[in-house]
């Protein structure tokens, strides 16, 4: 179910102000040379036309560090839930696609109560990308630059106005609360939106087919010597996993204070040998090559087999963060070149 409206640009700040009255509003802001997501204090500071390097909004559903429960007197357990209602404004389409995979991991089968509550309390307002980075490659994966479905609220910048799409009943209700700000779209608006889609697609510098890479790997053509050369360059920083909008690795630790125990969940990565440490200190993945290889296998082979889609949405963040330049795009291109020479 999708409903559409037109929001004149002049109405945007008023609308955001109204949203902020009902929940906390998080948006991309320009600070100290970078763009970061943070609580919006001055509506006019929101940075809309972000050319590059927008961080992933994963932290708002699956925080880097989160207290799960608190134990007092050795017996009294108090679960800690974050019940804060949030609007996250200015997210990219690829990240919305990533949320769908995060949802499947955290909500299917066993439903993670912490994730679930945050998910219910958060509304994402995404913007169709009209300014992709050189590192972006969502276009080859169908995860961007715009979405047909799966979003909460999607805005398309048509110059003097936004084309607004609400993708679920909750989103429709939110728009209807301030109905007087929105107009009904005309035929020309649909045409203009399509025009934006076309021009956006034309701006991508990278086109990568992960499907080909997957087939090439499954055909057994990629030798361990290749993975060896990749592994050599791994700095074991974990950046690819931390930055990835759909990586889900976490670890759990207890902080024992004199007045109670705090059980904390923290981001972790499968690229570390200790991640799979077993009793007696046995490390099944002690060799670095096993771990590097597994990261790619997980995203390229395992995800499609189990969840029906690649474990990569083409956001290009690992390309930016990887100190050894062995990110998804680079490896996919290398494998494509190998394939061409076969």
Partner 1 sequence: MIAMDKILTVCPYCGCGCGLYLHVDRGRLVGVSPSKSHPVNRGSLCVKGWNAHEFVIHPDRLLSPMIKDKGEFRECTWDIALDYVAHRLMEIRDRHGPDSIGILSSAKCTNEENYLMMKFARAVVGTNNIDHCARLCHSSTVGGLAAAFGSGAMTNSISEIRDAKVLFVIGSNTTEQHPMIGMHMLDAVDRGAILIVADPRRPQIAEFAHIHLRHKPGTDVALLMGIMHIIVNEGLVDIDFVRRRTENFDTFERILRDFHPHAVERITGVGIEEIRRVARIYAMEKRSMLFYAMGITQHITGVDNVRACANLVMLTGHIGLPSSGINPLRGQNNVQGACDMGALPNVYSGYQTVTNPRARRKFERAWKRKLPLKPGLTVVEMTEAAYEGRLKALYIMGENPLLSDPDLNHVNEAMKRLDLLIVQDIFPNETMQYAHVVLPACSFAEKDGTFTNTERRVQLLRKAIEPLGNSRPDWEIITELSRRMGYDMKYRGTYEIMEEIALLTPSYGGMLHHRLREVHGLQWPCPDVAHPGTPFLHRKKIAKGLGTFITVEFKPPAELPDDEYPFILTTGRIYFHYHTGTMCRRTSVLEREEPECYVEINPDDAEVLHIKDKSQVRVSSRRGSITVFARVTDRTPQGVVFIPFHYSEAAANLLTNAALDPTVKIPEYKVCAVKVEPLIKEDRRPRSIKIVDLEDLRIT
Of 4, 46, 48, 59, the one binding partner 1 (CB under 8 A) is 59
Of 21, 32, 49, 341, the one binding partner 1 (CB under 8 A) is 32
* Binding residue count for partner 1, defined by CB under 8 A: 50
- The whole-angstrom separation of Cα 174 and Cα 19 is 9
70 - beta bridge partners? Answer: 78, 262
Tokens matching residue 162: 């936004």
Cβ atoms 94, 138 nearer than 8 A = yes
Question: Nearest approach, Cβ of 198 to partner 1 (angstroms)?
Answer: 29
Say whether residue 322 binds partner 1 (CB under 8 A): yes
Written in H, E and C, the secondary structure of 41-106 is CCHHHECCCCCCCCCCHHHHCCCCEEEEEEEECCCEEEECCCCCCEEEEEEEHHHHHHHHHHHHHH
Of 140, 150, 304, 324, the one binding partner 1 (CB under 8 A) is 324
Question: Nearest approach, Cβ of 134 to partner 1 (angstroms)?
Answer: 13
Query: Per-residue x/- mask for partner 1, residues 150 to 189, rule CB under 8 A?
Result: ----------------------------------------
- Window 61-120: residues binding partner 1 (CB under 8 A): 63-66, 84, 86
- Comparison of 301 and 338: residue with beta carbon closer to partner 1: 338
Tokens matching residue 2: 């999708």
Question: Nearest approach, Cβ of 83 to partner 1 (angstroms)?
Answer: 12
Question: Nearest approach, Cβ of 186 to partner 1 (angstroms)?
Answer: 38
Say whether residue 131 binds partner 1 (CB under 8 A): no
Say whether residue 325 binds partner 1 (CB under 8 A): yes
Tokens matching residue 81: 């839930």
Say whether residue 237 binds partner 1 (CB under 8 A): yes
Of 80, 218, 266, 306, the one binding partner 1 (CB under 8 A) is 266
State which H helix or E strand residue 210 sits in.
Answer: helix 210-218
Q: Could you report how far apart the first and last alpha carbons of the chain are, in Å?
A: 47
Cβ atoms 324, 233 nearer than 8 A = yes
Say whether residue 17 binds partner 1 (CB under 8 A): no
Question: Nearest approach, Cβ of 188 to partner 1 (angstroms)?
Answer: 38
Please report, for residues 10, 47, 108, the alpha-carbon distance to residue 30 in angstroms, rounded to integers and kept in the order given. 21, 6, 36
Of 273, 298, 334, 336, the one binding partner 1 (CB under 8 A) is 273
- Comparison of 7 and 240: residue with beta carbon closer to partner 1: 240
Say whether residue 26 binds partner 1 (CB under 8 A): yes
Directed axis angle between helix 113-121 and helix 93-107, to 10°?
140
Four-CA torsion 112, 116, 118, 121, nearest 10 degrees = -170
Cβ atoms 61, 248 nearer than 8 A = no
Say whether residue 224 binds partner 1 (CB under 8 A): no
Residue 114 φ/ψ region, left for φ over 0, alpha for ψ in the -120 to 50 degree band, beta for the rest? alpha
Residues at the site binding partner 1, with contacts judged by CB under 8 A: 24, 26, 31-34, 36-39, 41, 52-53, 55, 59-60, 63-66, 84, 86, 232-233, 235-239, 242, 251, 253, 255-258, 266-268, 272-274, 277, 281, 320-325
């Amino acid at each position: 179910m999708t409903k559409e409206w037109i929001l004149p640009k002049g109405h945007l700040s008023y609308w955001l102000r109204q949203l902020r009255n009902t929940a906390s509003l998080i948006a991309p802001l320009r600070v100290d040379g970078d763009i970061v997501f943070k609580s919006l204090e001055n509506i006019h500071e929101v940075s809309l036309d972000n050319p590059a390097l927008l961080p992933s909004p994963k932290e708002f559903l699956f925080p880097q560090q989160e207290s799960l429960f608190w134990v007092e007197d050795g017996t009294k357990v108090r679960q800690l839930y974050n019940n804060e209602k949030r609007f996250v404004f200015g997210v990219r389409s690829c990240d919305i696609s990533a949320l769908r995979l995060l949802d499947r991991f955290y909500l299917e089968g066993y439903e993670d109560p912490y994730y679930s509550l945050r998910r219910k309390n958060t509304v994402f307002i995404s913007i169709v990308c009209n300014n992709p980075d050189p590192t972006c490659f969502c276009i080859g994966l169908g995860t961007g630059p715009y979405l047909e479905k799966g979003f909460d609220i999607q805005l398309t910048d048509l110059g003097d106005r936004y084309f607004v799409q609400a993708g679920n009943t909750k989103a429709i209700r939110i728009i209807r609360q301030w109905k007087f700000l929105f107009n009904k779209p005309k035929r020309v608006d649909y045409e203009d939106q399509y025009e934006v889609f076309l021009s956006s697609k034309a701006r991508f510098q990278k086109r990568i087919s992960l499907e080909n890479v997957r087939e090439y790997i499954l055909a057994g053509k990629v030798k361990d010597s290749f993975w060896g050369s990749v592994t050599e360059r791994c700095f074991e920083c974990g950046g690819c996993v931390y930055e990835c909008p759909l990586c889900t690795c976490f670890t759990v630790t207890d902080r024992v204070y004199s007045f109670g125990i705090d059980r904390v969940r923290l981001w972790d990565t499968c690229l570390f040998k200790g991640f799979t440490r077993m009793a007696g200190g046995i490390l099944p993945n002690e060799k670095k090559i096993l771990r590097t290889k597994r990261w790619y296998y997980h995203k390229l082979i395992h995800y499609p087999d189990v969840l029906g889609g690649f474990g990569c949405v083409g956001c290009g963040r690992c390309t930016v963060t990887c100190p050894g330049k062995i990110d998804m795009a680079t490896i996919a291109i290398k494998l494509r070149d190998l394939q061409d020479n076969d």
